[in-house]
Amino acid sequence: MLKVGLTGGIGAGKSEVSRLLVERGAVLIDADRIAREVVEPGTPGLAAVVDAFGREVLTPEGRLDRPRLGSIVFSDAEQLARLNALVHPLVGARSAELEAAAGPGSVVVHDVPLLTENGLAPLYDLVIVVDASPTTQLDRLVGKRGMTEEDARARMAAQATRDERRAIADIVIDNDGTQARLTEQVDAVWADLARRARAAR
């Protein structure tokens, strides 16, 4: 098994890269998706978040109000650390279960948005960073996700810097260009990952 950490700044296109890798045969473990699952209504995770941040982070239906929680944590490093301390152990445990279920020759890609910030690079055989310029990130967040420029800049500022991400990368995928160029890079990366996974067996 080859364990790959995949990360990138918000709006860099990490989700698209993970989709392309899955098309080519990767087993994807999506930390964001697991992070949503562990705070579903009725879970111990949601109860812990409500204990820490109050009932105002719930929707009227009793689900986690992500925009509300985001507005609390993304502008306050201490609150963000508090949230991460609750959710990350739950995500880690579920990720380990999913990884254990993958076959011995698998390329297991862990899609981890805060891999750099949380010092998680040593957990993986190699780290792929999806990189885009801050201008590209901002354009995507405002244009495609409908964020205000202020909110987009705050989200970007709450993450590791571009240089910090690149410093932990074994492979950098540049996503400032076209879809065709991105696909071409992913094809080359996949060939390398598949070769490494075979060698690891």
107-119 residue pLDDT tens: 999 999 889 998 9
At 49 the pLDDT is 97
At 114 the pLDDT is 87
Domain locations along the chain? 2-200
Which residues, 6+ apart, have CB-to-CB distance to 176 below 8 Å?
131, 132, 133, 136
For the cut 80, the answer to whether the pLDDT of residue 180 exceeds it is yes
pTM score, two decimals? 0.81
Which of 197, 171, 172, 200 has its CA nearest to residue 24? 197
For the cut 90, the answer to whether the pLDDT of residue 51 exceeds it is yes
At 24 the pLDDT is 97
144: left (phi over 0), alpha (psi -120 to 50) or beta: alpha
Give Cα 114 distance to the centre of its chain. 6
Which of 22-26, 103-107, 133-137 has the least mean pLDDT? 103-107
Q: Report the CATH number of the 2-200 domain.
A: 3.40.50.300
At 201 the pLDDT is 74
- In a 13 Å sphere around the CA of 51, the CA atoms on its Cβ side amount to 10
The CA radius of gyration of the chain, in Å to the nearest whole number, is 17
